[in-house]
Amino acid sequence: MDLTDLHELQSRQRAVRTFDTSVPVPDELVEQLLRSATFAPTGGNRQLWRFIVVRESSVKSQLATLYEEEAARYLGRPVEGQTSWRDVPVLIVFCSEPGGGGSSIFPAVQNLLLAAHAAGLGSVLTTLWKAREQEVRSILNVPADIEVHAIVPVGYPQRKYGRNKRRPVAEVAYRDRYGTPW
């Protein structure tokens, strides 16, 4: 893969919230995604990440209820046109053991998002449930000293997506000092 191929992959990696729930995502594939996540860097290479792969209906349903409540609050209207987490094939929860510093998880999340896209899967990084973190922790049986950072639903996309829309580099990059054009 060269840089052009990488840009193609990155520019087409989108926030996918609507899934074809008739197509399963086998454990072997989930494991490959987790492998990609674990190729990411962490502070001091401590690799304190822990992943919870959620497939059980009752667990997904409980998370779905509170996520949809928070998403509706955020949007100011009920969530429409998104696959409920009840029906998404798998939810991957990104946690970390104490001592790593919270930032170390996000390179792993991004690796997984890109790997999912490369495998033809859709995914989306979510944090809206954070307002209900205590409930999430209790549903997932997360010990008190473990941090929960992100929940990523994964499944095959229901439709095709175009490239993502991002501001051009010239608008957001500076040379030597803040504000000096690149």
Please identify, using beta-carbon distances, which residue of 127 and 138 lies nearer to ligand FMN.
Answer: 127
Segment contacting ligand FMN by CB under 6 A, of 51-59, 92-100, 121-129, 137-145: 121-129
Position 117 contacts ligand FMN (CB under 6 A):
no
Least separation, in Å, of the C-beta of 99 and ligand FMN?
A: 22
Beta-strand relationship, 122-123 and 90-96: unpaired
**63 contacts: CB under 8 Å, gap ≥ 6:** 54, 85, 91, 129, 136, 139, 140, 151
Least separation, in Å, of the C-beta of 85 and ligand FMN?
A: 11
Q: Under a CB-based contact definition with an 8 Å cutoff, are residues 141 and 165 in contact?
A: no
Q: Under a CB-based contact definition with an 8 Å cutoff, are residues 95 and 52 in contact?
A: yes
Choose, by CB under 6 A, the member of 15, 31, 35, 98 that binds ligand FMN. Answer: 15
Number of residues that bind ligand FMN (CB under 6 A): 9
Segment contacting ligand FMN by CB under 6 A, of 22-30, 86-94, 95-103, 126-134: 126-134
Position 59 contacts ligand FMN (CB under 6 A):
no
Q: How far apart are CA 136 and CA 90, in angstroms?
A: 16
Choose, by CB under 6 A, the member of 103, 127, 143, 182 that binds ligand FMN. Answer: 127
Position 164 contacts ligand FMN (CB under 6 A):
yes
Please identify, using beta-carbon distances, which residue of 13 and 42 lies nearer to ligand FMN.
Answer: 13
Encode 108-128: b = buried (16+ Cβ within 10 Å), e = exposed: bbbbbbbbbbeeebbbbbbeb
Choose, by CB under 6 A, the member of 125, 131, 133, 137 that binds ligand FMN. Answer: 125
Identify which of 12, 17, 18, 16 has the alpha carbon closest to the alpha carbon of residue 164. Answer: 12
Position 14 contacts ligand FMN (CB under 6 A):
yes
Question: What number of helices (H) and strands (E) belong to the chain?
Answer: 6, 4
